[in-house]
């Protein structure tokens, strides 16, 4: 043990956690929502601090944007004091909430006192300014004013706020001036902090997983992969465990990034909850997580060791465009077309399909006495939103991680609608079609079988932490050939009622 290293228990984090609970009780729910404030529990803060490699230099410049009451900084200082001594930490802690700042300053004083007892030192500064405004100004001047490693941070630990950024907002304007294009405060905090780190510096953050896929986060993914190497990703088995006191249902992950690091190995770890009592680790190459031929730069996170066999099977290497199939979000947005909606079909209407009309592979239409309308008027105002009656494959847009399946596919059966020539597909469904025309029945049913397989569901969970299944996600997946899909459709038609086990066995046969 190095000379001067503290032997007695350190209470930095436990005291910070006590003040976190007090401060949390004083915050109005509306205030939390407005600022996206969800403070870090002690167990999570301690785990995050442990993910930093031991520094090879004595002078540390630490950034804690959105510091709250100082739980993450307290965890960082405590972890360092337990392992070694002789460090000098210069801290910039950003916090705009005055309630938080009063507790933050007390906890930082305690950090300073405790570090001094262990032969280290902490010099801190609380910045009561908006981090995005201040950091964007600094980042915008980096190239012209800052030499590569002058005044840059060596470490950053963060639990940033979660809130969408309006395209016309002051924050968006500041970010664009710094060369950053993103849609949420959390991704803005990460991007700016990366720019403020020195080469070789480390950033540890707990953030929503939503950035891993979807078109809106593509510029952020490109920024992240350009400026840093992903060193570690930690997944929680249950979506609501990391911030259970605040009932946060956003799926969160912990990421470790090295500024300017080589894109080598990535460690993926999992635990059921924030006790971290059952951690499992697996090592991957970056190419396992970000496919070299993927222009969208989706980040696939394997939840279990070993590559998903869909990625390796030659039989599943076709894009939708190669199959002559398109997928679109259902075009009927009901609240914009209220005057055209009808509870039940009547003269002059066409069927309107919602997710509630599909229960697994079964379709029920109309639903009498249901909450959703079953039909809409067919006229000059609605005609452009309608599809010709026929076979289509549809996928629910909304699901959750806890559901048995994230991708739930069904087939639209035109025989249920009588002689109608058109039908409407509501916005909460994705629809597979052939240039807005129906699919062959065998193709629609084969596509449904494939999408309902466990292998597809597992593959989708690797890159999607959303509660949404977006059309873009479905476009970027790989599929069997058209011939194989038709063969699956013939099998489904011949077999009738198929179980999950039967579907998975058919998919395994194709993969061989």
Domain with residue 377: its CATH number is 3.90.220
Percent of the chain with pLDDT over 90: 54
The stretch 175-186 carries a mean pLDDT of 93
**Contact by Cβ (8 Å): 221, 299:** yes
The stretch 187-197 carries a mean pLDDT of 95
- pLDDT above 70 (res 464): no
- pLDDT above 80 (res 405): no
**Do residues 329 and 215 share a domain?**
no
Q: Which domain holds residue 471?
A: 320-511
**Do residues 119 and 20 share a domain?**
yes
**Contact by Cβ (8 Å): 386, 424:** yes
**Do residues 474 and 337 share a domain?**
yes
Question: pLDDT at position 5, please?
Answer: 47
The stretch 143-153 carries a mean pLDDT of 61
Number of domains in the chain: 2
The residue among 388, 282, 382 whose CA lies nearest residue 334 is 382
Q: What angle do CA 99, 100, 103 make, to 5 degrees?
A: 100
Using one digit for the tens of pLDDT, what is the confidence trace for 271-326? 888 889 888 888 888 988 888 888 889 888 876 654 454 555 567 888 899 999 99
Phi first, then psi, for residue 393 (nearest 5°) are -105, 130
- pLDDT above 60 (res 355): yes
Residue 7 inside a domain? The answer is: no
Question: pLDDT at position 437, please?
Answer: 96
Separation CA 179–CA 69 (nearest Å): 30
**Contact by Cβ (8 Å): 409, 452:** yes
Using one digit for the tens of pLDDT, what is the confidence trace for 74-119? 999 999 888 777 889 999 999 998 888 988 999 999 999 988 888 8
CATH code: domain of residue 116: 3.40.50.150
Question: pLDDT at position 202, please?
Answer: 97
The residue among 139, 135, 179 whose CA lies nearest residue 158 is 135
Question: pLDDT at position 407, please?
Answer: 87
């Amino acid at each position: 043990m190095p000379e001067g290293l503290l032997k007695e228990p350190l209470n930095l984090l436990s005291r910070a956690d006590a003040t976190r609970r007090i401060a949390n009780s004083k915050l109005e729910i509306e205030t939390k929502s407005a600022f996206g404030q969800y403070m870090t529990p002690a167990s999570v803060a301690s785990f995050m601090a442990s993910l930093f490699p031991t520094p090879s230099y004595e002078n540390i410049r630490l950034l804690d944007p959105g510091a709250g009451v100082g739980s993450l900084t307290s965890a960082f200082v405590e972890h360092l004091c337990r392992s070694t001594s002789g460090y000098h930490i210069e801290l910039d802690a950003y916090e705009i909430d005055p309630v938080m700042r009063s507790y933050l300053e007390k906890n930082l004083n305690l950090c300073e006192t405790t570090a001094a007892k262990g032969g280290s030192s902490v010099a801190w500064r609380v910045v009561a300014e908006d981090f995005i405004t201040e950091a964007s100004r600094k980042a915008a001047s980096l190239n012209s004013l800052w030499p590569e490693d002058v005044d840059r941070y060596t470490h950053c630990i963060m639990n940033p706020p979660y809130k969408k950024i309006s395209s016309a907002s002051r924050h968006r304007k500041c970010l664009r001036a710094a060369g950053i294009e993103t849609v949420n405060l959390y991704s803005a905090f990460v991007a700016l902090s990366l720019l403020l780190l020195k080469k070789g510096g480390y950033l540890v953050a707990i953030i929503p997983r939503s950035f891993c896929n979807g078109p809106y986060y593509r510029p952020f993914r490109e920024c992240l992969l350009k400026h840093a190497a992903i060193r570690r990703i930690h997944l929680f088995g249950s979506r609501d465990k990391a911030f259970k006191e605040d009932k946060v249902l956003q799926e969160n992950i912990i990421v470790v990034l090295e500024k300017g690091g080589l894109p080598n190995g990535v460690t993926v770890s999992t635990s059921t909850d924030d006790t971290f009592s059952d951690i499992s680790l697996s090592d991957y190459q970056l190419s396992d997580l970000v496919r070299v031929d993927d222009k969208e730069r989706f980040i696939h996170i394997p939840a279990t060791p070993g590559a998903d066999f869909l990625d390796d099977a030659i039989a599943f290497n076709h894009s939708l465009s190669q199959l002559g199939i398109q997928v679109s979000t259902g075009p009927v947005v009901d609240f914009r077309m209220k005057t055209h909606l009808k509870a039940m079909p009547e003269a002059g209407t066409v069927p309107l399909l919602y997710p509630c009309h599909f229960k697994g592979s079964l379709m029920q239409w109309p639903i009498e006495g249901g909450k959703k309308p079953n039909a809409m008027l067919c006229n000059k105002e609605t005609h452009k939103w309608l599809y010709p009656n026929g076979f289509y494959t549809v996928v629910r847009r909304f699901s959750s991680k806890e559901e048995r399946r994230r991708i739930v596919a069904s087939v639209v059966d035109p025989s249920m609608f009588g002689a109608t020539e058109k039908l409407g597909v509501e916005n909460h469904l994705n629809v597979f079609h052939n240039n807005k025309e129906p699919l062959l029945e065998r193709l629609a049913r084969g596509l449904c079988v494939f999408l309902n397989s466990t292998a597809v569901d597992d593959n989708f969970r690797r890159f999607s932490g959303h509660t949404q299944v977006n059309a873009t996600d479905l476009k970027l997946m790989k599929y069997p050939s058209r011939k194989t899909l038709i063969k699956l459709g013939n099998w489904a038609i011949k077999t009738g009622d198929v179980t999950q086990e039967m579907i998975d066995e058919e998919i395994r046969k194709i993969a061989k």
